[in-house]
Structure 1
Amino acid sequence: MADGALFPVANALAIGAYQQAVNEAQTLMGLSETEATERDALMYRAYIAMGSPKVVLDEVTDGAPMALQAVKLLARYVNSNGAESDAILATITEWLADPACSTNPTVLLMAATIYAREGNYNEALKCSHVGTTLDLMAMSVQMFLQLDRVDFAEKQLRAMSQLDDDATLTQLATAWVNVRLGANKIQEAYYVYSELGEKFSWTARLYAGCAACQMHMGRFEEAERDLLEALSKDAKDSDALANLIACAMHLGKPTARHVTQLTSVDPNHPALLRMKSLEDSFARASAASVA
């Protein structure tokens, strides 16, 4: 996570304040060439997160620094909705075989991000685990949790804390791990999200984090309120919509509208895929029983 002049941009990106990250980036002038590249990489990552990958594709030229080329590759992946996966993964393989690219933190982070979106958590971890930046370490925490290795996630979190215990990414990673640990750690995770919201600004990501904690604690009405706040910040937040469906089910409320919204925003969201799988299984079982 960036320090100094770039901190406002990196921090806004970390908490999910994407437009703020773009705005902060556009006010930063007089930077060194290295800082300017890092600023642009952060800004373009924010554009992708806002659902505007075409901005990146239009503005990043073929002669841009490697870090920006890596962000452009992610934009290409997102813009194609995975349709260019084979070509993009081939490019990543080529880059990672090149010593000049394979040590670039942004290249590693973008490669890990694309692998994670592909559901290839092992390859994502290979990319992120060799890095020493907070961004890469936070990605490793996420991948360890995806692989159900909470023990390794805790170990990586300790390394982040030793590097910068107060960093926003370290605090977020603490919340992720605590949610997975459960029990009284859930309340601690809730406090992390709440404190970040109060300290900086409330975003869809932070409200959704609070809601996830509320759901784990069985507080579905409170979770629903937090999720509605999240959607007021970002009506296309797919995870908030997915969790709102779960909340509605627990509260005995209709889910059709939320399912329609999620289908429109992210038709390949894991929650929808699970629902489709369950529906198909039920249909097969019903057909078998009739036969």
Structure 2
Amino acid sequence: MAAPDLLFNLRNNFYLGAFQAAINNSDLPNLSPDDAVERDCLVYRSYISLGSYQLVINEIDSSAATPLQAVKLLALYLSSPDSKESTISSLKEWLADPAIGNNPTLRLIAGIIFMHEQDYNEALKHTNAGGTMELNALNVQIFLKMHRSDYAERQLRVMQQVDEDHTLTQLTSAWFNLAVGGSKIQEAYLIFQDFSEKYQMTSLVLNGKAVCCMHMGNFDEAETLLLEALNKANDYFRLCMELHSDYMPWTKQDAKDPETLANLVVSCLHLGKPPSRFLSQLKLSHPDHTLVKRAAAAEEGFDRAVQSVA
């Protein structure tokens, strides 16, 4: 009989965006050394997802295992625009080191960082070999970013052959179905609905359901789901301020989830409601978001057109 997977619930919480729950329920007894490292990686990645970069940077020292050092690189990369260049340089050095360059967590972090850089070919150099469900799921995301749904589908089939019921396989199926569109949207919605019935409702699941609703033209339902997601983000903010106020850079990055705000802007436009409040929040908290850049480009284009006829 196979040994029980002691990290199952922790992984599930992380995959579905229940980051504070992952942190709160991470004190697991009787872990092997390898499982203990994976547990710590998931906990620190949860802190990163909550914006607590400095806690991760402070707590992972130079003696930590390679997977933890990789997670620290991600925190360094995200903590400040000024640190990105040096972090990428360090990352490339580590990837070139034959002793650690093939470490799955290091390759995963490399894929995440190069995806942030929109250097998808470089990301695939390190993720394409797969080896873990997270690497396979990241490959699907990269291929979808590259508008190569054919390659994404092949990678999804690999995941389904390994474990069709795995949370990441189901989540990746939903991403793929949303990208393909058409009749697949309903299938994606059912996956998110199943998650919401089985597990804690999170911003990630609510946004997934909301995007499905928008694709199906149900903007009222989408708005309700997104406002619930925004309330959950505010609850996280208050809790994190109580628990980790020394580390949280909330003056720069507050609890407003960028995808929730962006999706609210879109739903408001389709409902004929003014989106200015949500767009202003997005501009303040995430000025580099794609929607903010597009809005700025549209405003500049409009201003130039007005000046040309003035």
**TM-score, normalization: structure 1?**
0.96
Deviation, 1:30, is 2.3
Q: Does the Cα contact within 8 Å between 2:78 and 2:84 map onto a contact in 1?
A: no
Distance 2:135 2:300 in 1: 38
- What residue identity is the alignment partner of 1:57? I
The corresponding residue for 1:149 is 148
Distance 1:289 1:105 in 2: 58
Q: Secondary structure of the residue that 2:9 maps to in structure 1?
A: helix
Distance 1:127 1:226 in 2: 36
User: Residue deviations 1:211-239, cap 9 Å, x none?
Assistant: 01111111111110111111111142110
CA RMSD of aligned residues (A): 1.1
Distance 1:64 1:249 in 2: 48
- What residue identity is the alignment partner of 1:36? A
Distance 2:84 2:51 in 1: 18
Distance 1:51 1:110 in 2: 16
The corresponding residue for 1:158 is 157
Distance 2:187 2:291 in 1: 26
The corresponding residue for 2:78 is 78
The corresponding residue for 2:200 is 201
Distance 2:98 2:304 in 1: 51
Distance 1:96 1:282 in 2: 45
Higher relative contact order (CA 8 A, sep 6+): 2
Is 2:264 the counterpart of 1:244? Answer: yes
- Counterpart mapping for 1:186-265 below 5 A: 186-235=185-234, 236-265=256-285
Deviation, 1:173, is 0.4
Distance 1:216 1:132 in 2: 33
The corresponding residue for 1:57 is 57
Deviation, 1:285, is 2.2
Q: Does the Cα contact within 8 Å between 2:127 and 2:139 map onto a contact in 1?
A: yes
Q: Secondary structure of the residue that 1:234 maps to in structure 2?
A: helix
- What residue identity is the alignment partner of 1:119? Q
The corresponding residue for 1:33 is 33
- What residue identity is the alignment partner of 2:16? I
The corresponding residue for 2:105 is 106
Consecutive unaligned residues of structure 1, counting only runs of 5 or more, are: none
Distance 2:24 2:125 in 1: 33
Q: Secondary structure of the residue that 2:82 maps to in structure 1?
A: coil
Distance 1:120 1:286 in 2: 36
Distance 1:262 1:191 in 2: 29
Q: Does the Cα contact within 8 Å between 2:219 and 2:271 map onto a contact in 1?
A: yes
Consecutive unaligned residues of structure 2, counting only runs of 5 or more, are: 235-255
Deviation, 1:120, is 1.5
Distance 2:124 2:193 in 1: 29
Instruction: Give percent identity, aligned residues only.
Output: 45
Q: Secondary structure of the residue that 2:15 maps to in structure 1?
A: helix
- What residue identity is the alignment partner of 2:194? E
Q: Kindly tell me the number of residue pairs found equivalent between the two proteins.
A: 286
Deviation, 1:264, is 2.4
The corresponding residue for 1:266 is 286
User: Residue deviations 1:164-183, cap 9 Å, x none?
Assistant: 11111000100001011111
**TM-score, normalization: structure 2?**
0.90
Distance 1:131 1:61 in 2: 28
Distance 1:75 1:34 in 2: 21
Is 2:91 the counterpart of 1:92? Answer: yes
Deviation, 1:9, is 0.9
Q: 2:300 aligns with which of 266, 280, 283?
A: 280
The corresponding residue for 1:19 is 20
Q: Secondary structure of the residue that 2:138 maps to in structure 1?
A: helix
